Amino acid sequence: MDHYSYYRENQAEWKNSIRHNLSLNEFFVKVARDDKQPGKGCYWMLHSDLYYMFENGSFLRRHRRRRRFKQESSNNHH
């Protein structure tokens, strides 16, 4: 972090950006901090049901299929 002025000078912004992106990703879950540990906030960890996607140290992301919904026309009401 010391080598990059952006990260040194804008700590709140990049930390918020990371938290935001973690919260959008199904692979990560927020874990409460132990009361005995100093600091505030939570930890992030991999969702335990998704460990299999990291077999042999490689990330095996499966592509999601997009659902196609048939859009009904509002003009077809008789």
* pLDDT value for 7: 82
Task: Find all residues with CB under 8 Å of 42, minimum gap 6, and list them.
Answer: 30, 31, 32, 33
Flag whether 13 is in a domain. Answer: yes
Give the range of the structural domain holding residue 5, as residue numbers without chain letter.
1-52
What's the predicted TM-score (pTM) here?
0.56
Instruction: Specify if 37 maps to a domain.
Output: yes
Domain count, the chain: 1
Distance CA 43, CA 68 (A): 36
Residue 61 lies in a domain: no
Kindly report the CATH number assigned to the domain that includes residue 6.
Answer: 1.10.10.10
Q: Rounded to whole angstroms, how far apart are CA atoms 22 and 24?
A: 5
Reported as a single tens digit per residue, the pLDDT across 26-77 is 889 999 988 888 888 889 998 888 888 877 777 776 655 555 555 555 555 5
Conformational region of residue 54, where left means phi above 0, alpha means psi within -120 to 50, and beta covers everything else: alpha
